[in-house]
Structure 1
Amino acid sequence: MKTASAQPASHGSSDFWRVGSKTEVVLPARLHHPDVLAIQAAGAAKFSAERKHPVHIVDLPTKTLNMTIGGLLPSQTTSRHRHNYETVIYVIEGKGITTIEDRTVEWQAGDAVYIPVWAWHHHTNASASENCLYIACENAALLQNLGGIALREEAGD
């Protein structure tokens, strides 16, 4: 069993002949991010400030997906934004509304919401007194590892 190296190898089209016929486990040194809500990953505070709501980045050595724990304060609405990666949101607690392009999706704890690629969207906590908490899983890491092509745009409104 190998331990993951810090920097993955880069391959060009001339390396196509190197595609193997079998694989092996590459076990990263770190497999655990304890207490995600209490221990901030690098960049999480800046990311939360830019998004204007709390976002806790799950800091694990994934290559194709990422996960965040997001929160919405009572009556809070996120900025309208879009990105070229898919997102699936699982609501842990609370209830709210997500507007995706011209459609509105109402959700509550236990529900999952799909955000398609490049669709303008924003989330609103429907409660004036309780927080919302959700898990967001995205394939942005895959796009970043395919040449830094993950994009996000804020509406600025």
Structure 2
Amino acid sequence: MTQHSSRDFGRVPSQLQAEVPERLVHVDVMGRHGDDDADFSRDRQHAVHIVDLPSKVISMTIGGLTPGQQTRRHRHNYETLIYVLEGQGMSVIGDREVRWQRGDAFYVPVWAWHQHINLSESESASYLACENAPHLQNLGIALREEA
């Protein structure tokens, strides 16, 4: 990746040129469990499947919670949009409880402490999370903290 500094400001092009990467698809995201998924899931203490695509600005993961399971309380300086694929539960975001079920979407703001909880004792929950973490990582300013 090319790094630019303020001296490059005068070299900003007047037209865009598409850069189409070689790989545009991540086949069988849920079926192929790579080392990155296993390490990340172990660290987070719940299932997380990383969608491995060459986006420089947005990330996508698929999270899973077994019946009664909850994530660790954490916060980060990137914002998150979550779409619930299956199940029902609750997220504690700051001092607010947000109840959710399949088909709902909710927002986790920057640097807000939060935790996701599967309220069912018999059904799993899964969700799709999209975050602007790669953008902040590329700027060297992404932060995450676990409670």
- TM-score class, shorter-chain normalisation, is over 0.9
Pairwise CA distance, 1:40: 2.9
Could you give the per-residue CA deviations for residues 85-121 of structure 1, whole angstroms, max 9, x where no partner exists?
0000000000000000100000000000100000000
User: Which structure 2 residue ranges, 5 or more long, are not aligned?
Assistant: none
Structure 1 stretches of 4+ moved >6 Å: none
**Offset of 1:44 from its aligned partner?**
1.5
Give the RMSD, CA atoms, in angstroms.
0.8
- SS of 2:116's equivalent in the other structure is strand
Residues 1:97 and 2:101 are matched in the alignment: no
1:72 paired residue number: 65
Contact 1:40 1:57 in 2 (8 A): no
2:141 alignment partner AA: I
- Alignment: residue pair count: 147
2:135 match: 142
Q: Are 1:78 and 1:123, in contact at CA under 8 Å, matched by a contact in 2? A: yes
Query: Is the contact between residue 41 and residue 58 of structure 1 (CA under 8 Å) also seen in structure 2?
Result: no
TM-score of the superposition, structure 1-length normalised?
0.92
Instruction: Indicate if the aligned counterparts of 1:41 and 1:59 stay in contact, CA closer than 8 A.
Output: no
Matched, 1:118 2:111: yes
1: CA distance, partners of 2:67 / 2:74: 20
| 1:106 paired to 2:99 | yes
Unaligned runs of 5+ in 1: 1-7
Which SS does the other structure have where 2:100 is aligned?
strand
Return the TM-score normalized by structure 2: 0.98
Q: Which residue of 2 aligns with 1:5?
A: none
Secondary structure of the corresponding residue to residue 107 of structure 2: strand
2:2 to 4, 9, 13: 9
Task: Give yes or no for the alignment of 1:151 onto 2:143.
Answer: yes
Amino-acid identity (%): 60
